[in-house]
């Protein structure tokens, strides 16, 4: 049976205002995710990945940000038109988020067990006893003994705190989980354990997941599809096989060239020349043109269209399928 689409973002544009300048963080973004799918949203800092996630949860900073256009359809309803009350019901119950830094996302003065109970009690009518047993069960799901229920976050290591963050996020069995660089703050061995856990849990609960990362190694471990973001746009999208085996956008090529290959003796790693553009003064035409080794005069004339180079594989480049 074909899995149904649970989230569809259409033509989303989000800007921030700073010092009277418009910072175009997300520009005309289209993206869909199906039940059970894990989508990697990949790009450098400032590419618009986190802004996209915060838009889906409607937790963008109110004063400085504005959604310029678009729709975010979740199970047939446009999230952007819902009331605050309706949104509060969806957040945590249907769409949950795991943040990058578990040290700051947990409440330091509340026991971890109580923090899981709080999330469950926001969205269910469980009595006290049931709340406790569901929260203890969630701790065990993420590999923490239930007798640690009454411990405070500072009594846990970084990896264990991130497990608590995962337990809170999964406690209401959400349909969509957004994980924003969930392993970046952890050291390498703990990263692998947390990724392993996330992999097991997504199989068990069939939760759709958007994994935000700058790390293509993490994507390979866990994702089924990949969207590469650059300067607020998706420049390449495809299945994990298409992106790892047959990527076509020059920016994606640069990202792969900059990964160390432990089997090949490379004396030097290639880096992508230049820096991402200033989002308040984007170049004309293709935003990647100042850094692109294949750029021609045509690239500066207009923003390239999305080209479908094979079923499900989309590339935003005038050379797509022609190199």
Question: Does 7 contact ligand SF4 by CB under 6 A?
Answer: no
Residue in 25, 1, 23 with CA at minimum distance from that of residue 12 = 25
Helix (H) or strand (E) holding 34: strand 21-34
The Cα–Cα gap between 277 and 81 comes to 32
Question: Does 314 contact ligand SF4 by CB under 6 A?
Answer: no
Cβ-based nearer residue to ligand SF4, 168 or 292: 292
- Shortest Å distance, C-beta 251 to ligand SF4: 6
Q: Which residues contact 150 (CB under 8 A, 6 or more apart)?
A: 111, 113
The Cα–Cα gap between 53 and 163 comes to 20
Q: What would the DSSP string read from start to end of 251-313?
A: HHHHHHHTS--SSS--SS----SS-PPPTTSPPSS-TTGGG-TT--GGGGTSPPPEEEEETTE
Q: Which of residues 247-276 bind ligand SF4 (CB under 6 A)?
A: 250
Which one among 294, 302, 308, 321 touches ligand SF4, defined by CB under 6 A? 294
Q: Which of residues 50-109 bind ligand SF4 (CB under 6 A)?
A: none
- Shortest Å distance, C-beta 323 to ligand SF4: 9
Helix (H) or strand (E) holding 216: helix 216-222
Cα 293 to chain center, whole Å?
Answer: 28
Question: Does 233 contact ligand SF4 by CB under 6 A?
Answer: no
Query: Are the C-beta atoms of 237 and 227 separated by less than 8 Å?
Result: yes
Question: Does 227 contact ligand SF4 by CB under 6 A?
Answer: no
Cβ-based nearer residue to ligand SF4, 165 or 304: 304
Q: Which stretch binds ligand SF4 (CB under 6 A): 107-115, 142-150, 276-284, 313-321?
A: 313-321
- Shortest Å distance, C-beta 319 to ligand SF4: 5
Q: Which stretch binds ligand SF4 (CB under 6 A): 83-91, 184-192, 261-269, 281-289?
A: 281-289
Query: Are the C-beta atoms of 212 and 205 separated by less than 8 Å?
Result: no
- Shortest Å distance, C-beta 293 to ligand SF4: 8
Report how far apart, in Å, the C-alpha atoms of 140 and of each of 17, 136, 144, 308 are: 44, 6, 5, 44
- Shortest Å distance, C-beta 21 to ligand SF4: 24
Count of residues in contact with ligand SF4, rule CB under 6 A: 12
Place of tokens 């006893």: 129
Q: Which of residues 139-158 bind ligand SF4 (CB under 6 A)?
A: none
Question: Does 282 contact ligand SF4 by CB under 6 A?
Answer: no
Which one among 292, 309, 313, 314 touches ligand SF4, defined by CB under 6 A? 292
Q: Which stretch binds ligand SF4 (CB under 6 A): 83-91, 125-133, 216-224, 289-297?
A: 289-297
Q: What is the CA radius of gyration of the chain?
A: 21
Would you state the structure tokens that stand for residue 11, as one six-digit string? 């033509």
Question: Does 286 contact ligand SF4 by CB under 6 A?
Answer: yes
Which one among 55, 191, 207, 289 touches ligand SF4, defined by CB under 6 A? 289
List of residues contacting ligand SF4 (CB under 6 A):
250, 286, 288-289, 292, 294-295, 299, 304, 317-319
């Amino acid at each position: 049976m074909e899995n149904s689409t649970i989230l569809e973002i259409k033509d989303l544009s989000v800007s921030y205002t700073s010092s009277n300048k418009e910072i175009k963080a997300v520009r005309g973004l289209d993206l869909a995710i199906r039940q059970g799918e894990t989508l990697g949203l990949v790009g450098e800092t400032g590419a618009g990945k986190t802004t996209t996630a915060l838009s889906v949860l409607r937790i963008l900073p109110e004063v400085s940000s504005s959604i310029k256009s678009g729709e975010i359809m979740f199970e047939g309803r446009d999230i952007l038109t819902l009331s605050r009350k309706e949104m509060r019901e969806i957040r945590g119950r249907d769409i949950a988020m795991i943040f990058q830094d578990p040290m700051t996302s947990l409440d330091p003065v509340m026991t971890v067990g109580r923090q899981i109970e709080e999330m469950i009690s926001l969205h269910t009518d469980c009595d006290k006893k049931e709340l406790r047993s569901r929260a203890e069960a969630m701790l065990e799901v993420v590999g923490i003994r239930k007798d640690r229920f009454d411990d405070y976050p500072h009594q846990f290591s970084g990896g264990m705190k991130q497990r608590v963050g995962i337990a809170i996020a999964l406690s209401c069995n959400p349909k969509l989980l957004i994980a924003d660089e969930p392993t970046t703050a952890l050291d390498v061995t703990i990263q692998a354990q947390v990724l392993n856990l996330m992999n097991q849990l997504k199989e068990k609960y069939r939760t759709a997941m958007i994994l935000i990362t700058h790390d293509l190694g993490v994507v390979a471990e866990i994702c089924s599809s990949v969207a590469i973001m650059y300067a607020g746009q998706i420049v390449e999208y495809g299945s994990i096989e298409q992106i790892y085996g047959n990527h076509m956008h020059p920016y994606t090529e640069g990202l792969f060239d900059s990964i160390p290959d432990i089997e090949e003796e490379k004396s030097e790693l290639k880096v992508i020349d230049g820096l991402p553009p200033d989002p308040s003064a984007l170049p004309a035409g293709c935003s990647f043109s100042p850094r692109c080794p294949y750029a021609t005069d045509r690239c500066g004339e207009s923003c390239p269209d999305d080209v479908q180079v094979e079923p499900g594989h989309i590339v935003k480049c005038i050379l797509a399928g022609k190199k």
